[in-house]
């Protein structure tokens, strides 16, 4: 309705108008579309990101019905910058919800599940690319496989909560493994993008060079984490001497953007640096600034991310051309990628061998793809090899279809799998609490729990960490009683003080 109304006006959108005004109008349309799409998706029991992506597809193809000005949105350089910053902030937010110690403490079982859940989809995706796109380069096949590696845990988290299984041992393994395979996926992304860049410059690639790139990617992550943990307290201590407003937010964003730039400078994706920045920032480093502002860094970043992250997903959707679906090879590629994505994550079940864990629940819970997979696909559109994009519009559309299908398939499949394991057909928290002997993750599940910020059903690592025995033994649960005005606020959703 909104695009049709705009198209019917006499405003010369494609003519000689102030380019800033055109960007402002495009942003307004993108934000309205994102909010409406997210609302519809949530009402249908799906995550908002799916609605934002699909409404972007609709927006980007309005030229097929005569609304041609929307063609300027996916190709607008300024809108593209907003979208890329949104991706950086998205990974920064993900990093803020974890700490280096958290990743080290999820346990060997979750690590094994994560490794299997990365290797199997990558190999299968690579094989699908080689089968369906024999004329493509091995680099393109490898990149296509990498897009299948990362798990989007938000959908699984919501289903587990709805069925009272948020206290199950399978939930602990799934949620911990999902965080680890995001890290592994980012390392793979760093290696592949660096190798493609080297090949684009005409330089030869050897196994030694590939190993060197891998070591460089790991060294950057480890180095950024080690150095960041040591420098972060000093940086925030110096920033705390400033008297102006917004010191905490600005300092956090500066560190995020600096690490993103350093990652790009050494040949890695900026999102790798943003994720590392989020991991190293712990609230213990800036308690005084939190007390001054009365809000945590996560709370301060959230409104900016709420603005820019939906722009990223809508813009990615606008780059999907519906006419590519008329080609049977695109639909065939999408179907095989979806099968590879589903089967690949079933390898995660092997990580439960030797235990009483429900292996099928683990395999199904790791199926959905989401943000990181879409970021991979978007980067593929921008990478070139000998002047040819690593991923063309057809391949990109196939990856988007795979993401949508895995997200839609998981809830009913996981519900069926969980209910069939309970004689009564209903799984309750009481039953789950009897089957395990220790606390496990707490999952969020309503918009109100996030203050209506439009990002429901997210797994909060802080809730997972707080519920663990190793957390309770170091100081007990977080206080929940009201505090007097002017006193130090309790630890917010995110990283506790240490």
pLDDT in tens, 87-141: 888 878 877 876 766 666 656 778 888 889 899 999 999 999 999 988 888 888 8
For the chain, give the percent of residues with pLDDT over 70: 72
User: What is the structure's pLDDT at 340?
Assistant: 94
Residue 463, CA atoms < 13 Å, CB-side half-sphere: 16
Confidence of residue 234 (pLDDT cuts 50, 70, 90): confident
Domain containing 300 — which CATH number? Answer: 1.20.1530.20
Look at 261 and 375; give whichever has higher pLDDT: 261
Confidence of residue 369 (pLDDT cuts 50, 70, 90): confident
- Average pLDDT over the chain, rounded to an integer: 74
In a domain, 359, yes or no: yes
Confidence of residue 481 (pLDDT cuts 50, 70, 90): very low
Look at 112 and 49; give whichever has higher pLDDT: 112
Residues 302 and 251 in one domain: yes
User: What is the structure's pLDDT at 498?
Assistant: 37
Residues 71 and 197 in one domain: no
User: What is the structure's pLDDT at 17?
Assistant: 66
User: What is the structure's pLDDT at 337?
Assistant: 93
**In the predicted model, is pLDDT for residue 355 greater than 70?**
yes
Residues 213 and 309 in one domain: yes
Residues 13 and 145 in one domain: no
End-to-end CA distance of the chain: 51
User: What is the structure's pLDDT at 47?
Assistant: 72
> 434: part of which helix (H) or strand (E)?
helix 429-435
**In the predicted model, is pLDDT for residue 184 greater than 90?**
no
In a domain, 319, yes or no: yes
User: What is the structure's pLDDT at 102?
Assistant: 62
Residues 154 and 138 in one domain: yes
User: What is the structure's pLDDT at 424?
Assistant: 42
What average pLDDT does the segment 356-385 reach?
Answer: 81
User: What is the structure's pLDDT at 90?
Assistant: 83
Confidence of residue 336 (pLDDT cuts 50, 70, 90): very high
Residues 57 and 103 in one domain: no
Q: Which of 219, 220, 224, 198 is nearest to 210 (CA)?
A: 198
Q: How far apart are CA 6 and CA 13, in angstroms?
A: 9
Q: Which of 28-37, 110-119, 265-274 has the lowest mean pLDDT?
A: 265-274
What lies within 8 Å, CB to CB, of 488 at 6+ separation is 287, 290, 291
In a domain, 482, yes or no: no
Q: How far apart are CA 467 and CA 265, in angstroms?
A: 39
What average pLDDT does the segment 270-291 reach?
Answer: 82
Residues 310 and 404 in one domain: yes
Both tokens assigned to 9: 């006006």
Among 7-16, 275-284, 339-348, 376-385, name the most confident range: 339-348
| Domain-ending residue, one of 12, 43, 77 | 77
Confidence of residue 77 (pLDDT cuts 50, 70, 90): confident
Domain count for the chain: 2
**In the predicted model, is pLDDT for residue 421 greater than 70?**
no
Q: Which of 228-237, 441-450, 485-494 has the lowest mean pLDDT?
A: 441-450
In a domain, 481, yes or no: no
Torsion of CA 76, 77, 83, 86, to 10 degrees: -150
What average pLDDT does the segment 343-372 reach?
Answer: 82
In a domain, 496, yes or no: no
| Domain-ending residue, one of 77, 95, 118 | 77
* Full-model pTM: 0.65
In a domain, 488, yes or no: no
Confidence of residue 405 (pLDDT cuts 50, 70, 90): confident
Confidence of residue 464 (pLDDT cuts 50, 70, 90): very low
**CA of residue 361 relative to chain centroid, distance:** 22
Residues 323 and 383 in one domain: yes
**In the predicted model, is pLDDT for residue 452 greater than 80?**
no
What average pLDDT does the segment 195-212 reach?
Answer: 71
| Domain-ending residue, one of 77, 95, 125 | 77
User: What is the structure's pLDDT at 125?
Assistant: 92
Residues 44 and 121 in one domain: no
Residues 157 and 203 in one domain: yes
Confidence of residue 20 (pLDDT cuts 50, 70, 90): confident
Q: Which SS3 state, helix, strand or coil, does residue 385 take? A: strand
Residue 23 lies in domain: 2-77
User: What is the structure's pLDDT at 161?
Assistant: 61
User: What is the structure's pLDDT at 348?
Assistant: 86
**In the predicted model, is pLDDT for residue 32 greater than 70?**
yes
Both tokens assigned to 359: 């292996």
Residues 368 and 271 in one domain: yes
Residues 67 and 120 in one domain: no
Neighbours of 329 (CB within 10 A): 12
Q: How far apart are CA 312 and CA 113, in angstroms?
A: 30
In a domain, 307, yes or no: yes
**In the predicted model, is pLDDT for residue 44 greater than 80?**
yes
Among 204-213, 259-268, 328-337, name the most confident range: 328-337
In a domain, 260, yes or no: yes
């Amino acid at each position: 309705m909104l695009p049709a109304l705009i198209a019917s006006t006499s405003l010369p959108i494609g003519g000689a108008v102030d380019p800033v005004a055109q960007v402002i109008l495009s942003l307004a349309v993108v934000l309205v579309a994102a909010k409406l799409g997210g609302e519809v998706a949530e009402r249908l029991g799906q995550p908002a990101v799916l609605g934002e992506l699909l409404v972007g597809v609709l927006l980007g193809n309005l030229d097929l019905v005569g609304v041609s000005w929307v063609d300027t949105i996916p190709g607008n350089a300024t809108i593209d910058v907003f979208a890329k910053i949104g991706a950086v902030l998205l990974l920064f937010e993900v990093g803020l919800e974890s700490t280096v110690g958290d990743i080290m403490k999820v346990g060997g079982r979750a690590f094994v599940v994560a490794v299997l859940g990365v290797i199997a989809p990558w190999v299968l995706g690579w094989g699908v690319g080689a089968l369906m796109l024999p004329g493509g380069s091995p680099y393109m096949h490898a990149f296509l496989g990498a897009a299948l590696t990362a798990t989007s845990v938000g959908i699984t988290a919501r289903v587990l909560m709805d069925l009272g299984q948020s206290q199950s041992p399978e939930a602990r393994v799934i949620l911990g493994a999902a965080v680890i395979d995001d890290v592994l996926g980012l390392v793979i992304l760093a290696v592949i993008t660096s190798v493609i860049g080297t090949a684009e410059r005409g330089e030869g690639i050897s196994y030694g060079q590939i190993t060197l790139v891998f070591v460089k990617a790991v060294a950057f992550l480890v180095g950024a984490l080690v150095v960041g943990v040591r420098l972060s307290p000093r940086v925030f201590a110096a920033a705390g001497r400033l008297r102006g407003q917004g010191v905490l937010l600005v300092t956090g964003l500066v560190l995020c953007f600096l690490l993103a730039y350093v990652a790009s400078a050494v040949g890695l994706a900026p999102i790798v640096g943003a994720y590392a920045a989020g991991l190293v920032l712990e609230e213990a480093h800036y308690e005084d600034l939190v007390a001054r502002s009365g809000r945590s860094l996560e709370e301060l970043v959230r409104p900016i991310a709420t603005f820019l992250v939906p722009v990223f997903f809508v813009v990615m959707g606008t780059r999907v051309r519906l006419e590519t679906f008329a080609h049977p090879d695109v639909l065939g590629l999408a179907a095989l990628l979806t099968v590879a994505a589903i089967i690949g994550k079933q390898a995660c079940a092997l990580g439960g061998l030797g235990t009483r864990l429900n292996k099928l629940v683990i395999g199904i819970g790791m199926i959905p793809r989401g943000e990181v997979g879409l970021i991979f696909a978007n980067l593929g559109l921008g990478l070139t090899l000998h002047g040819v994009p690593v991923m063309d519009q057809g391949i990109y559309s196939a990856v988007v279809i795979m993401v949508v299908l895995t997200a839609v398939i998981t809830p009913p499949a996981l519900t069926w799998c969980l209910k069939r394991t309970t004689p009564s057909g209903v799984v309750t928290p009481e039953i789950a609490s009897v089957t395990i002997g220790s606390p496990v993750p707490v999952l969020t599940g309503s918009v109100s729990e996030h203050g209506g910020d439009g990002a429901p059903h997210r797994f909060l690592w802080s809730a997972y960490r707080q519920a663990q025995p190793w957390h309770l033994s170091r100081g007990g649960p977080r206080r929940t009683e009201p505090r007097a005005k002017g006193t130090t606020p309790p630890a917010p959703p995110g990283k506790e003080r240490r």
